[in-house]
Structure 1
Amino acid sequence: MQLGMVGLGRMGGNMAQRLRDKGHEVVGFDFNPEGRDVESLADLVDRLDAPRVVWLMVPAGEATAATITSLAELLSTGDLIVEGGNSHYVDDRRRADDLKARGIGYVDAGVSGGVWGRQNGYGIMVGGTAEDIARVKPVLDSLTPDAGGGYVHAGGVGAGHFVKMVHNGIEYGMMQAFAEGYELMAASDIVDDVPGTFDSWREGTVVRSWLLDLLVRALEDDPDLEGIRGYAQDSGEGRWTVKAAVDHAVPAPVITAALFARFASRQDDSPAMKVVAALRNQFGGHAVSKSTDEPAHTPRS
């Protein structure tokens, strides 16, 4: 089928190439001139045959909102927008209502697979009406893995990004568990081969996973991770997952702790841990030298 793709970065560009490899016609636009097929959103709409399908892969937030607002003025009744970024599901519902008043359909698509998706296929979680999903099914079939799977019509508008949000929250927890396991083994005087241990877990164990494969790859490049700063950004989905858990009174301690651990990674000298160190020193005499970070025990009187 014919498809407009807005956003040709690491995800959108690879998705467009995978679709072209599968025989689809993709007309691509990006605000960066490099690699785009048309010069503007208006040109993109003009190049597509009605009824049009336009898939967005732009950063969540203001960039997505502005792009949808612009497209709403250019598209016609019967056209369809697929939002494939990481929008908040609440925004999806509001946008779908606004576009419906113009006769324009809306599908929210959570996409997972990273830079490996072009080769391996993507996991795609969509929300919308059955009719709108059917219109983009050829694209979904081509983007997902050749062996099958990797796709779910999760529900109405908003459901696709909701389950992608939960997916990313689970990802936070899994990554944090691997990270803590690494630190524990590296800190011990028992394990001589930490990278080899992770590599051995890739076959026959219950923790084998693609994330484990990626960790082993990273350790092959840098066994002690000396070239990596211990700073982890969060892209928003973890926060939304925790908020949704609060809204629905669902306990989510692992995901919540993993999110807070990322916040802690941004502190060179944690104020909270300064308080902990100060309190320990007050009641237990465990003073810590700022210069050496070595505990200096001071007996209590």
Structure 2
Amino acid sequence: MAQQSFHFGMIGLGVMGRNLLLNMADHGFSVIGFDKDQAKGQALESSAAEGRVVKGVSTLKDMLDLLEKPRRLMMLVPAGKPVDDVLADLIPLLDKDDIVIDGGNSHYTDTQRRLKYMADKGFHFMGMGVSGGEHGARTGPSIMPGGDKDAYEKVAPILTAVSAKVGGEPCVDYMGKGAAGHYVKMVHNGIEYAIMQLISEIYAVLKQGAGYTNDQLHDLFAKWDKGDMKSFLVEITADVFLKKDDVTGNRLVDMVLDKAGSKGTGKWTSQDALDLPIPIPVIDTAVTVRTISSLRDERVLAATLYPSESHKLADTKDLETLAHDALNLGTIMSYVQGMAQLQKASSEWAMDIPLDKVVRVWRGGCIIRSVLLDPLYKAYTANPKLENLLLDKNIAALVSPLIGNTRKLLALAIGAGIPVAGLTAALSYFDAYRSAWLPTNLIQAQRDYFGAHTYQRIDQPGTFHTEWQPQ
């Protein structure tokens, strides 16, 4: 029998899988990877630095024979049926107490099902979110493992070593029971959708509304990335404006079709929020606008039927300050809504998600990393059970000064016919959440009128129904 010597195995040697293994090898772990495509195994070995213990194989059995027991291995394959297919191939080769990690973007309900299925067979299973893209996988991602706590303890040294670090703290921690790891990653991606939508709207206001050039846009976003909105997404946005197209010589961003793709995780976030229920309108809007963008032929036709305004802002005084404050507010509301969803889901599904650790893990390595996460971390450290970040006094002190300028920017953008659905959703959510009274009493009266759905009163307890039509 082949000698068992490798610390960790990877199934799927695409760029993410390969880079994670190379990262592990750089930290002193011996690693082995399997892919049906032998060229990918060869690419893994040839990419390793001298002295690293790295091997690629083309059969699952070869990999499992060479892993030390209990085995620690991870899948990075497309979500859905491919994960179940890999598990079906793996199970006959596994031994009791082996650990299998799904590191892809699986839907949390699939992860919950697989946890029970694998546990019943005597195997450990974990769902784990990984954020940071190809570069992050190689240099230090944000890692969100959940599920089997015993299994986490056995893989924690490896995950801690390869994760991003902020202030010396690793951007990995146990995210909770059940499918918590994949649920946290799903909401992370929903927040990512939201912030990207908000940035694109600010781009439209500056470009369409005020005629900003790509150089001016680069300079502004680069300046913002040096201040209180420093973040990965603001940073890369500044970079995007400078990239030239090799074909035309134009700036590449101007040659990209305005039709956004998606892999479904934003939609999953919205769908689950509706089921909980918990309001996340900025994320919902981001998903919707991507869908609208896909209707490009219809949009082009509609533009001829409804000639638009000039899209020029009526006033550009203090525009950069207005845009900064509106983007800042919208970004905070995106985090607020995503974290509120995690809080509700943790309670609903008994996941015991530690919100302070979620925010700490997101501070480095991941796509939504931002200096704005620091005050959020402090809020959850002070009150781990905080239902909504807007109820924290320090968060309120951050939000309140941004409101007036956000209203001014939205008024200018709407007046110019520039679509700013995400920014509008952010402000409307804030206005609704901080309202002691909402006009939903009328809605409840209407529901009782046509459907006898009953209502509650403000002056006495109980449930009531009224015959609203005159007799």
TM-score, length of structure 2 as denominator length: 0.56
2:66 alignment counterpart: 47
5+ residue gaps, structure 1, are 281-285, 289-301
- CA distance, structure 2, for counterparts of residue 247 and residue 189 of structure 1: 41
Counterpart in 1 of 2:24? 19
- Which structure shows the higher helix fraction? 2
Q: Which moved more, 1:189-198 or 1:37-46?
A: 189-198
The Cα of 1:6 is off from its aligned counterpart by: 0.7
- The residue correspondences of 1:1-301 to structure 2 (distance < 5 A) are 2-36=7-41, 37-146=56-165, 147-189=168-210, 191-192=212-213, 193-205=216-228, 207-222=229-244, 223=251, 225-270=253-298, 274=302
Say if 2:259 and 2:294, in contact at 8 Å, map to a contact too. yes
Partner of 1:298: none
What letter matches 2:201 in structure 1? E
| Equivalent-residue separation in structure 1 for 2:238 and 2:36 (angstroms) | 36
Distance 2:169 2:223 in 1: 28
CA separation in 2, counterparts of 1:258 and 1:122? 25
What are the ranges of 5 or more consecutive residues in structure 2 without an aligned counterpart? 1-5, 42-55, 245-250, 310-471
In the TM superposition, what is the alpha-carbon distance from 1:157 to its structure 2 partner?
2.2
SS in 2 for 1:31: coil
Measure the CA separation in 2 of the matches of 1:199 and 1:218.
Answer: 11
| Cross-structure match for 2:449 | none
- Provide closer, same or farther for how the CA distance between residues 114 and 287 of structure 1 changes in structure 2, counting only shifts above 3 A: closer
Contact 2:243 2:252 in 1 (8 A): no
Note the C-alpha offset of 1:153. 1.0
Amino acid at match of 2:273: A
Q: Partner amino acid for 1:251?
A: P
Tell me which residue corresponds to 1:295.
none
Percent identity of paired positions between Structure 1 and Structure 2: 32
Residues of 1 paired with 2:129 and 2:32: CA distance?
Answer: 21
Alignment RMSD (CA, Å): 2.2
Offset of 1:189 from its aligned partner? 3.6
Q: Is the 8 A contact 1:230 1:265 kept in 2?
A: yes
Task: Specify the code of the residue in structure 1 equivalent to 2:17.
Answer: G
1:47 CA drift (Å): 1.6
SS at match of 2:101: strand
Equivalent pairs counted in the alignment come to: 280
Q: What letter is aligned with 2:235?
A: D
1:78 touches 1:103 (CA, 8 Å); kept in 2?
yes
- Given that 2:23 and 2:139 are in contact with CA atoms closer than 8 Å, whether structure 1 keeps it comes out as no
Is the Cα contact below 8 Å between 1:7 and 1:30 reproduced in 2? yes
Q: Which has the larger radius of gyration?
A: 2
Q: TM-score with structure 1 length normalisation?
A: 0.87
Q: Secondary structure at the match of 1:28?
A: strand
Corresponding position of 2:458: none
Aligned CA distance change for structure 1 residues 85 and 227 (closer, same or farther; 3 Å): same
Dislocated runs of 4+, deviation >6 Å? none
Q: 2: CA distance between counterparts of 1:218 and 1:225?
A: 7
Q: Which amino acid aligns with 2:125?
A: Y
Offset at residue 271 of structure 1 (A):
6.4
The one-letter code sitting in structure 2 at the alignment partner of 1:160 is: G
The one-letter amino acid of 1:26's match is V
- The alpha-carbon deviation at position 270 of structure 1 amounts to 2.5
Asked if 2 retains the 8 angstrom alpha-carbon contact of 1:106 and 1:157, the reply is no
3-state DSSP class of the match of 1:183? helix
Contact 1:5 1:55 in 2 (8 A): yes
Distance 2:27 2:308 in 1: 64
Deviation at 1:181, TM superposition (A): 0.8
Matched residue type, 1:211: L
CA contact under 8 A between 1:128 and 1:158: conserved in structure 2?
yes
Q: Deviation at 1:190?
A: 5.3
Partner Cα distance (1:34, 1:66) in 2:
22
> What secondary structure sits across from 1:154 in the alignment?
coil
1:7-52 residue CA offsets vs partner (Å, 9 max, x unmatched): 1112111101000010111110112211321111122112212211
Greater strand proportion: 1
Q: C-alpha distance in 1, partners of 2:237/2:95?
A: 47
Higher relative contact order (CA closer than 8 Å, sequence separation 6+): 2
Deviations 1:85-119 (A, max 9, x none): 00111111111111112101001110001022145
CA–CA distance in structure 1, aligned partners of residues 308 and 190 of structure 2: 37
